[in-house]
Amino acid sequence: MVATFYIQQLITSFVASAAFGILFNVPKKALLQCGFAGMVGWLLYILLQNMMVEPVTATVFAAFCVTMISHFFAKKYKTPIIVFSVSGIIPLVPGGVAYNALRHVAQNQFDQAIQLGAQAFMISGAIALGLLLSEVTNQVIRKWSITRRRAGKPNSTGSS
């Protein structure tokens, strides 16, 4: 029964990310990668949730993972990173939480609406933080590899 849950979650997140890629006019050759990025990010999120990690923290890690995968795909397929990262974070977007917050507003249940609205806001911020941390990590790795490559090359004047 647990395996069925995970398989259902993997398929659903893959389809959601790939379908959003279609709406986002992603090149057809990149749709599978978009679905894969979203699927891996969502899998990490639900695994962390099952380990009792807070939703905001789990979202940061999942968004970080999605963006690192997106960097890999962008480099490998020579496609802008945004193609993969936007589609990949779709399963993490707190649309249901935001909907419930507004539903509680309409029902004059403002205490619950504020709690859910704050949660949706924090999860959205966690997505942004995960994207940012991944970008910073990628820049550090890139600068480190460039510095390391240059250190291995002889001096440009020819004298060592």
* CA–CA gap between residue 116 and residue 107 (Å, rounded): 14
Q: Which two tokens stand for residue 121?
A: 């806001």
pLDDT tens digits for 88-120?
Answer: 999 999 999 999 999 999 999 999 999 999 999
pLDDT tens digits for 11-51?
Answer: 999 999 999 999 999 999 999 999 999 999 999 999 999 99
